[in-house]
Structure 1
Amino acid sequence: MRSTRQIARCFLFLTFLGVARIAAAAEVYIQLPADAQGLNDDLRDASLSVQTAAEENVTAQDLMAAARADYARMVGALYEVGRYGGVVSVKVDGREVADISPLSTPRQVRQIVIQVQPGPLFHFSTTRIAPLAPETDLPEGFRPGAPAYSDIIGKSVKAAGDAWRNRGHAKVAIADQRMTANHAGARLSIDVTLAPGPRLTFGNLVIQRPGAVRPERVRAIAGLPTGKVYSPEEVRQASRRLRRTGAFSSVVLEEAETIGPGNTLDIQATLTDAKPRRFGFGAEISSLEGLTVSSFWLHRNLFGGAERLRIEGEVSGIGGDSGGMDYVFSTRFERPATFNPDTDLYLSARAQELDEPDFRERSVRVGGGFLHRFSDELTGEIGVAYQYSDINDDLGSRTLEHFLLPASLEYDTRDEELNAKKGVYANLELTPFLGLDNDSLGARLYFDARQYMTFGKTDGLTFATRAQFGSVSGAGIGEVPPDMLFYSGGAGTVRGQSYKSLAVDLGPGLRIGGRSFAALSAELRARVKDKWSVVGFADAGFVGADSWWDEGEAHYGAGFGVRYDTGLGPIRVDIATPLGSDAGEDIELYIGIGQAF
């Protein structure tokens, strides 16, 4: 008996699989008149039957549900292209789906035929939305005589409402709307009446559920301008300020349901705390420079005010032929919303030992300053710092003490930091300095600019360029720490050339960094399959003894590489060689995470 039951169960199971396979093999056809074939792609994209039939292991019940839904989906798709008199028929194996009871689903579905008579293209006869806020800009297609596409109607009503909201009328609503279709003349009349409501000012930021960040600090960071005229952009900006602290995993700011006393509008904040601590690491390897490993520890809410403390360390040159091993340990504390919502206070410290081919430097640097966000794209920093350096290079052994005024501007419109396909990045650093032990006075300038352009699809051909320039003026070479001078060669400048191989020649066997520097890089990145891409690149570098690139030497490199996109950032493998008489003789290998720039 048990054996018989098992056979029966297997039979039923196999029968179910057979039905599922037959259903999955169902064919879907969309039939249109000859003069309406241009709508085929729009209708196929809208059809749930087409999408369901392409999936694996779908049942007849799945296909019948999709076929029933396609009546409304086809009508909606026709409205989007201005066809308001269409007729839709959906048949399963020759039977109209609307005539099949949901309780009588067929055991298998072989064919679904969607017949569409689109009807004529309608045009607008009347296009009225009133009242309109001053300077309201409605879409160009919303005018009498234009094709009556349904999405134009929605965009126009939204644009009219947004214009009122941008002028402080947060509770603007549709008071009345009439859409009249004249099928005889294929005309569509639109008449929408808006109720702008009163002009509102910001009330309080109401925190729905207080978390680890103190409420007064949440309000200070958000910077909601209580008492000023309501603006949706101010709400979006407050939300962005809270998110960028990293202290919250979710930030939702919503308008209160009702208007408060004196035409005020409270904003309700629903916040979810992020995990306060985070740990990360990175690695990069070069055949000449060796292995570089780094790690960091981050606390996102140190004192309950969304303060950030980041501690990081890096060891480079492991197993390399570019001097010894370098060690860098640094920490940075940031307090958001200091003085105003867009200004952060920072304190920093760094200790490092650099064992480079041409020098050995041990230094300690401490300082602090302010970071200000002028916009989502533009950020600036200014501060003060003290640096002590113990140096041994081809100029001899010495110690230097400097007072520095570091300042920087950063402009960033990249779509992704580690794998940019469009946008620009520019970073300008200017550090005036005063030698406390030798009275030297000077400044270090560094500029890094990058541009990304993608042709064709989003994942098509990407052309990336980078330009770097640097200069140290005022002080002599011996009055500046070697780490503030410039070298060229290696992964960050000219791939294929040996690490920091280009410097200033002081005589037989004597070298030191230059006071002027320039580097140019170009890459062509092409996706070839799924997550794989190939890259071709060329780099050039220049180092000069003077401050303004008057005299110096240049070198060049080129190569190719592959990338594998992990979702967090591409794994990068590059092979490069110097250009010139020794091209192809020396080969350098670079492996890392993220694009080269």
Structure 2
Amino acid sequence: MLLATAGIALIAGSAAAQMQTPGTAPAQGPDAPRDPAGSDPQANQPIVPDAEFDSALPPLSGDINAPLEPMPATAAATTTESSEAQAQAQAAAAQPIAPGELPSAPPPDPVLNQPLEPLSAFNTVPLQTVKDTQDADIPDIRYASEVRGLDPLGLTDEFNSLSALREGKGKADNATQVAARGREDEQLAVRLMKSLGYYDGTAISTIESVPGEKGGLRAIVSATPGQQYKLGTITVDAQPTTPPDLVRRELPLKTGDPIEAARVQAAEANVSLKLPQMGYPFVKVGDRDILLDEQTGRGDYTLPVDTGPRSSFGVLRTEGDPVFDLKHLNVFPRFDQGQLYDNRKTDDLREALVATGLFNGVGVQPVPTGTILPDGTEQVDIMVSQTRGPAKSLAGGVGFQTGQGVTAEGTFTNRNRFPPEGALILGAIAGTQQQGVSATFRRQNAGRRDRTVTFVASALRANYDAFEAFTGTLSGRISYDSTPIWQKRFTYAYGFELVGTNESVFDFAENDRTRRTYGVLALPGQAMFDTSDNLLNPTRGYRLKLNLSPETSVQGAVRPYARTLVEATAYYPVSDSLVIAGRVRAGGIFGIARDDLAPSRRYYGGGGGSVRGYGFQRLGPLEPVSSLVPGDKDRDEIKDLRPIGGRSLNEFSIEARYRFGNFGIVPFIDAGNSYESSLPTASDLKFGAGIGGRFYTNFGPMRVDVATPLNPRPGDPKVALYISIGQAF
């Protein structure tokens, strides 16, 4: 320590002496003082003459490959005592140690010879870690976050939804974590500003303490947008098209538009969407290039587009595990060979195949052929990739209606039992008032897409207030139907029915019920015009439906007649969540007396699909009061009179369907009745009102309606409940 102090003193003294006695060498360099008068002749002379300097240099060899020469030993100008001592120590260390001259070992430490402490004397309490003391010693960090400068751009809400500071919910382990979240939000603010064309935008986050709050911070993200860049020239780099400006026309951008990310991306997506609909199935949109000019605030935009060949439809091909052969596959397309390519029709083909329910997977893709057609387009074939799926399924459903009771149905379906698409469907129904079985053969897409041929054989027992019947039916039907994938404006159906039924009927001649057997041959037909926007849950448009069925009843004699029914429904959207729906239905039976009709072929009112609030089939003519047996406790009230049905019907309904999310509330009012005459009248209408709940699913709404009759008759229920799938109409 003393030596170091002395050394410092010597150095300081030497420096002081030099300060007091300046050197005589003149200063050199650009900052050296000048002698304006030139009074000192040695002022600009070098410290060492050039000749003396050159002579001091060692001679250099001309051979660049020669080995380096050793540096000659030279005596130092000055050598301190400490340098000499260091050199002597190094020389001594370099001398080898002679044998027998090893230094003696130091004496052993007496502490090492002491015995070890017993384990019981040790303190076994674990040391506290940082984690153990964190909650006790470190205060909780609470912070508030704020963003400035984004509100004029309309970006505040989007920023808040993505903010790392907001995601932390105002809590952090320490201030460093808050600062890190602030830096993330700086980058977020810059990205959002660039998405609107503010490419010069900057953002900075600051963390400040909140006075008076322990551990309270305020994180502020301040954004400065700068100027907004707008589109300058717009260039599309693409092959020639038909029409020539097709790509530019389908790119909805114009000079002067802000360079907003969403606007630009949507315009480019429109090109990818529209060109395949106009004959270019293989279009590829490249990466855009935008050259910004900060002086003008404009960005010149260039978009490369590979349109590929203009194409027309060719033929279908197939690969994979075939469910359908090419003959049946050609039933589905809605395009003809040689027609200009439109990928919407390709997508429609894919959806129609998926709707059959026979595929685990199905792909439909255009395949280039290289064949150039006379109109200059290239033929593209459509490759259908098939993966077979399960053809068998089980399904079931349960419903309840006042007056009809509980009904449970189940079906087993083999959708491809008779290929192609020949389904065998076995069904059973079990309920409190009906039981039965059925077997159905159904061929879908029979020679034409969406045309269905159906044959049904069924046996059913029904026990209602209106009648009790044992019925066997054999029927056939050809229909052109709407589907959830392709809803059609015009649909139709026609067919036949052979019905044999044994039913209880009120015999006016005997003033009592009896059983009769009827044979019925019917040729039912139906036509429907539909402008609604949805098959299962319409919200706008209207539907018109006409049913006409020429029939012959055989019960002792042949009696031909005709059953007719007309129905109109309309849907008006008041708002996105409220739809007003209305229905009018009227029907009549002509050419036969009511009492010659089988009770099951007559018209009845009341129930979940008619006038809610009244029992199933309870509206209309009833048995005469004279049929009551005096003294019979079961039949001495008017409420025990049974309906006998009529030859005409009218119904009116209006609903207000209010939906919120997947749920809905539907207040409604219904009116109607059935009549003995062939034409309905407006007299003696029965009204019902109620409210319903809806739960909306992918396959349609679940419906629960509660209703009450407004002008009930004796025996009508005070409250009726209906549970089913689908809207009432």
Please give the range of the TM-score, normalised by the shorter of the 2 chains. 0.7 to 0.9
1:288-319 residue CA offsets vs partner (Å, 9 max, x unmatched): 43222222222233235333333333334x2x
Query: Shift of residue 210 of structure 1?
Result: 1.0
Shift in Å, 1:54: 6.4
Rounded to whole Å, the distance in 1 between the matches of 2:495 and 2:280 is: 42
Query: How far apart are the structure 2 equivalents of 1:55 and 1:308?
Result: 62
Aligned-partner SS, 2:155: helix
Question: Whole-Å Cα distance in 2 between the matches of residues 574 and 14 of structure 1?
Answer: 62
Name 1:30's counterpart in structure 2.
Answer: 147
SS in 1 for 2:346: helix
Label 1:189 to 1:535 Cα distance change in 2 as closer, same or farther (>3 A).
same
Distance 1:285 1:109, change over 3 A: farther
Taking structure 1 as reference, are residues 513 and 50 closer, same or farther at Cα in structure 2, changes over 3 Å only?
farther
Superposition CA RMSD, Å: 4.7
The CA deviation string for residues 79-121 of structure 1, in whole angstroms up to 9 with x for no partner, is 55x4242424375968xxxxxxxxxxxxx99887544333334
Q: Among 67, 82, 85, which residue is 2:199 paired with?
A: 85
Match of 1:516 among 628, 645, 648: 648
- The Cα shift of 1:537 comes to 2.1
- Name 1:500's counterpart in structure 2: 617
What is the identity, as a one-letter code, of the residue corresponding to 2:326? Answer: E
CA contact (8 A) 1:49 1:63 kept: no
1:308: which partner in 2? Answer: 423
CA 1:409/1:259 → structure 2, altered by over 3 Å: closer, same or farther? same
- Is the 2:197–2:261 Cα contact (8 Å) retained in structure 1? no
1:356 alignment partner in structure 2: 464
Give 1:224 deviation, angstroms: 7.0
Q: Following the alignment from structure 2 to structure 1, what is the Cα–Cα distance between the partners of residues 694 and 324?
A: 44
* Whole-Å separation in 2 of the counterparts to 1:374 and 1:338: 15
Task: Determine helix, strand or coil for the equivalent of 1:522.
Answer: strand
CA distance in 2, matches of 1:268, 1:389: 52
Structure 1: distance between partners of 2:696 and 2:126: 48
Given candidates 597, 605, 620, the residue that maps to 1:488 is 605
Q: Is the 8 Å Cα contact of residues 145 and 166 (structure 2) preserved in structure 1?
A: no
**Whose strand fraction is larger, Structure 1's or Structure 2's?**
1
- Of 361, 364, 379, which residue of structure 2 is paired with 1:264? 379
Question: What does the per-residue CA deviation read over 1:451-488, in whole Å, with 9 as the maximum and x for residues that have no partner?
Answer: 363634xxx44544333333333444345443333211
Stretch deviating more after TM superposition (332-341 or 446-455): 446-455
Please report the TM-score for the alignment, with normalisation by the length of structure 1.
Answer: 0.77
Q: Which moved more, 1:421-430 or 1:392-401?
A: 421-430
Q: Report the CA distance shift for 1:88/1:7 in structure 2 as closer, same or farther (over 3 A).
A: farther
> What's 1:117 paired with?
224
Deviation at 1:582, TM superposition (A): 7.4
Q: Give the 5 Å matches for 1:59-458.
A: 74=189, 77-80=192-195, 82-89=196-203, 91=205, 114-127=221-234, 129=236, 133-134=242-243, 142-174=253-285, 177-192=288-303, 194-210=305-321, 213-216=323-326, 219-223=329-333, 225=335, 227-229=337-339, 230-256=341-367, 258-262=368-372, 263-316=378-431, 318=432, 325-373=433-481, 376-378=486-488, 379-395=491-507, 397-409=516-528, 411=530, 413=532, 417=536, 420=537, 422-423=539-540, 426=543, 428-435=545-552, 437=554, 438-447=558-567, 449=569, 451=571, 453=573, 455-456=575-576
Q: Residue 557 of structure 1: CA displacement?
A: 0.8
Between 1:346-355 and 1:172-181, the stretch displaced more is: 172-181
CA 502–531 in structure 1, closer or farther in 2 if over 3 Å, else same: same
Question: 1:242-300: per-residue Cα shift (whole Å, max 9, x none)?
Answer: 021122244332334x5444433233434444432222222223454322222222223
Task: Tell which structure's C-alpha radius of gyration is larger.
Answer: 2
Structure 2 residues not aligned, in runs of 5+: 1-118, 209-214, 373-377, 508-513, 628-641
One-letter amino acid of the counterpart of residue 358, structure 2: A
The yes-or-no answer on 1:41 pairing with 2:41 is no
Aligned to 2:82: none
Which residue in the other structure is 1:97 paired with?
A: none
Q: Is the 8 A contact 1:486 1:514 kept in 2?
A: yes
Contact in 2 for aligned 1:220/1:337 (Cα 8 Å): no
**Cα shift readout 1:535-571 (whole Å, capped 9, x = no counterpart):** 4221111323344424653100112344556777665
Partner of 1:470: 587
Q: With the length of structure 2 as denominator, give the TM-score of the two structures.
A: 0.64
Distance 1:59 1:549 in 2: 82
- Name the aligned partner's letter for residue 646 of structure 2: G
Indicate if the aligned counterparts of 1:565 and 1:571 stay in contact, CA closer than 8 A.
yes
Q: Per-residue deviation at 1:595? A: 5.2
1:52·1:66 contact (CA, 8 Å) conserved in 2?
Answer: no
Inter-partner Cα distance in structure 2 for 1:348 and 1:10: 81
Q: C-alpha separation between the residues in 2 aligned to 1:30 and 1:121? A: 20
How has the CA–CA distance of structure 1 residues 405 and 522 changed in structure 2, closer, same or farther, with 3 Å as cutoff? Answer: closer
1:548-559 equivalence runs, <5 A: 548-550=679-681, 553-559=684-690
Given the superposition, is the C-alpha separation of residues 32 and 538 from structure 1 closer, same or farther in structure 2, using an over 3 Å criterion?
A: same
Q: Distance in 2 between matches of 1:249 and 1:344?
A: 23
- Secondary structure at the aligned position of 1:119 is classed as coil
Q: How do residues 502-581 of structure 1 correspond to structure 2 at under 5 angstroms? A: 502-504=619-621, 507-508=624-625, 511-526=643-658, 533-550=664-681, 553-563=684-694, 572-580=703-711
Higher relative contact order (CA 8 A, sep 6+): 1
- Superposition deviation, residue 58 in structure 1: 12
Q: Distance in 1 between matches of 2:724 and 2:176?
A: 47
Which range is displaced more, 500-509 or 362-371? Answer: 500-509
